[in-house]
């Protein structure tokens, strides 16, 4: 029971780094001596101390480490990157027990940290809250296992299933202000945000995190016909870091294979996650291609009676439903 409790704490700490650690995973660490936490740490940013190192260095009386247990949600690294291997410090400090949530899927690490600790004399236990630990690093794992970014679909629709009225409305919002702020928080957690070129031209969105403190994602516009170039001087996107997807190997952007090509291009740019915010055509394209992982849909109280219909997705995949003031947020997972 204690193992579960301390691993849950490691996960809570790790989550604090969401949006800041790319290209590194989210990692939290708890060091326990005689059932009492003596140090904690989490990875805050690529290039800075890993969670294990941060926690270990906080222990003022290093003799306590000789009879302590280190909990970490992801396998400690055993290679030199921007920082030294965590396994070196764990063995140097003679920490006798290490509890690991799940193995790292990066080939530079996978199984090597575990083996090094075992060969160094550590008692190692792995698999505590394995599912939760893998889920937390779904972006990192998708990039290394599926060779593509983790794909989040997001849209808002009226109570009767429309995402926009027939008439053109500037700054037309279906969602509650609190929902809008939540979306900006989500943006700060992902590496990229993607829309189709028609949405860029029609809505002229900013695609930033102006309602939340955090990093702006890289804006991505699917623009195979290069329609955006002649309007770029008037677009809000010009103030952001953004890229366009142009070359789709002469395939139609409606071809299901195009979705894979788009994700391949994002992978080549080392992007581990993307949140797709529209329009309907773009969202439906990824749904039909079965290349999405999570969908976040706001159901609002508004009734439009007519307009642009929202994407068609299998609602039986619903994972949870949350009320946000006047809105209902439903979350679906493909797997």
**pLDDT tens readout for residues 3-51:** 999 999 999 999 999 999 999 999 999 999 999 999 999 999 999 999 9
pLDDT tens figures, 91-100: 999 999 999 9
Q: What was the pLDDT predicted at 164?
A: 86
DSSP codes joined into one string, 165-196: -SS--TT---S-HHHHHHHHHHHHHSSEEEEE
Q: Could you tell me if 161 and 300 lie in one domain?
A: yes
Q: Which two tokens stand for residue 65?
A: 């480490």
Confidence category of residue 262, pLDDT binned at 50, 70, 90 = very high
The domain that holds 315 is classified in CATH as 3.40.430.10
Residue 253 has pLDDT above 70, yes or no: no
Tens digits of residue pLDDT in 73-132: 999 998 777 788 999 999 999 999 999 999 998 887 889 999 999 999 999 999 999 999
Domain of 60, in residue numbers: 2-142
> In the chain, what percentage of residues exceed pLDDT 70?
94
For the chain, percent of residues with pLDDT exceeding 90: 76
pLDDT-derived band at 67, boundaries 50, 70, 90:
very high
Q: How sure is the predictor about 189, in pLDDT bands with cuts at 50, 70 and 90?
A: very high
pLDDT at 277: 96
How many other C-beta atoms are found inside a 10 Å radius of the C-beta of residue 202? 14
Q: What's the average model confidence in pLDDT over 298-324?
A: 92
Per DSSP, 94 falls in state T
- Pair 76, 128 in one domain: yes
How does strand 218-222 pair with strand 242-245?
parallel
Q: What is the pLDDT of residue 335?
A: 81
Domain finish residue from 107, 142, 177: 142
Domain count, the chain: 2
Q: Sorting pLDDT into bands at 50, 70 and 90, what band is 171?
A: low
Over residues 281-299, mean pLDDT: 96
Residues 70 and 161 in one domain: no
**Residue range 189-203: average pLDDT?**
93
Confidence of residue 297 (pLDDT cuts 50, 70, 90): very high
125 φ/ψ angles, rounded to the nearest 5 degrees: -120, 135
pTM of the model: 0.93
Give catalytic residues, as residue numbers.
52
- Looking at 112, 142, 172, the residue that finishes a domain is 142
- pLDDT tier, 168 (very low <50, low <70, confident <90, very high otherwise): low
Give the mean pLDDT of 176-191.
96
Asked whether residue 225 carries a pLDDT value surpassing 70, the answer given is yes
Give the per-residue pLDDT at 247.
66
Give the relative orientation of helices 256-268 and 280-288 as an angle to the nearest 10 degrees. Answer: 100
Same domain (yes/no): 84, 223 = no
Burial string for 60-71 (b: 16+ CB within 10 Å, else e) reads eeeebbeebbbb
Q: Which residues pair with 70 in a beta bridge?
A: 31, 98
3-state secondary structure 200-267: HHHHCCCCCCCCCCCCCCEEEEECCCCCCHHHHHHCHHHHCCEEEECCCCCCCCCCHHHHHHHHHHHH
* Ordered DSSP codes for 35-46: TEEEEEEE--ST
Confidence check: pLDDT of 203 > 80:
yes
Alpha-carbon separation of residue 42 from 169, 263, 332 (angstroms): 45, 30, 29
246 and 209 within one domain: yes
| CA 28 vs CA 73, 81, 140, 190: distances in Å | 6, 18, 15, 19
Whether residues 188 and 131 fall in one domain: no
Domain boundary at 119, 142, 165, which? 142
Same-domain status, 167 and 243: yes
Residue 255 has pLDDT above 80, yes or no: no
pLDDT of 241 higher than 90: no
Provide the pLDDT for residue 191. Answer: 97
**Bigger pLDDT: 241 vs 172:** 241
178 and 321 housed in the same domain = yes
Average pLDDT of every residue of the chain: 92
């Amino acid at each position: 029971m204690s193992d579960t409790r301390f691993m849950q704490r490691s996960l809570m700490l790790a989550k604090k780094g969401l949006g800041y650690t790319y290209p590194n995973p989210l990692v939290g660490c708890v060091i326990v001596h005689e059932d009492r936490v003596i140090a904690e740490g989490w990875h805050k940013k690529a290039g800075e101390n890993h969670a294990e190192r941060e926690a270990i260095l906080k222990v003022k009386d290093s003799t306590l480490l000789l009879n302590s247990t280190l909990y970490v949600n992801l396998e400690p690294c055993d290679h030199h990157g921007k920082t030294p291997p965590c396994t070196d410090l764990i063995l140097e400090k003679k920490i006798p027990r290490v509890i690991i949530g799940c193995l790292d899927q990066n080939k530079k690490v996978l199984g090597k940290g575990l083996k090094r600790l075992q060969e160094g004399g550590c008692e190692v236990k792995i698999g505590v809250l394995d599912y939760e630990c893998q889920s937390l690093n779904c972006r990192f794992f998708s990039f290394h296992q599926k060779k593509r970014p983790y794909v989040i679909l997001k849209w808002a629709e009226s109570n009767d299933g429309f995402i926009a009225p027939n008439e053109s409305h500037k700054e037309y919002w279906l969602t509650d202000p609190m929902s809008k702020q939540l979306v900006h928080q989500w943006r700060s957690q992902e590496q990229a945000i993607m829309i189709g070129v028609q949405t860029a031209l029609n809505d002229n969105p900013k695609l930033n995190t102006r309602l939340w403190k955090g990093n702006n994602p890289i804006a991505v516009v699917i623009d195979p016909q290069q329609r955006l170039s002649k309007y770029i001087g008037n677009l809000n996107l010009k103030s952001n870091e953004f890229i366009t997807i142009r070359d789709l190997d002469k395939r139609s952007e409606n071809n299901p294979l195009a979705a894979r090509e788009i994700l391949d291009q994002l992978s080549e740019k080392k992007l581990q996650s993307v949140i797709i915010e529209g329009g309907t055509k773009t969202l439906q394209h990824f749904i039909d291609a079965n290349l999405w992982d999570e969908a976040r849909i706001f159901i609002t109280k508004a009734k439009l009676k007519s307009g642009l219909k929202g994407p068609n997705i299998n609602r039986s995949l619903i994972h949870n439903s949350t009320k946000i003031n006047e809105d209902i947020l439903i979350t679906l997972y493909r797997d």
